[in-house]
Structure 1
């Protein structure tokens, strides 16, 4: 088997890992995608800012929650409504939306 080497490690392994991540996310809802992307981004930023694992964990947790909330707000076919009491709820959008 021909293996290509890059400066940082095995290039084929990195490509397969990236493809696996893309395929795994393809079957997720917008909420799940948002949580994964937010969590990963938050962990990277939290670790870079604090310089330790605790910062990465806190950043990942905050990013995952924020990403899930953002992803949930972008669900296709879902609309936000308010009832007579002013409470907000989500339901299917009318036809044509």
Structure 2
């Protein structure tokens, strides 16, 4: 799994690209504070020919978000996240994205 960040000079946003290798998966989405933890069309990642899933979101600079991937209905953390934070509601850690 991987995250790449591209900070825009002209706007106060960062383009964040999420890449998830999941050849056997049917659906992958990224959910978090930035979209009220809702898996929808905007949060769905597109399956590429190599079997990985990829998608880009524009998020506000100078922000920190908790997030997870949903891979075929299972919540999965990003191993290369900027950090992890315990979440009592979920009873586990969420990945952190620091912009």
TM-score by length of 2: 0.21
By percentage of residues, which structure has more helix? 1
By percentage of residues, which structure has more strand? 2
Q: Which has the larger radius of gyration?
A: 1
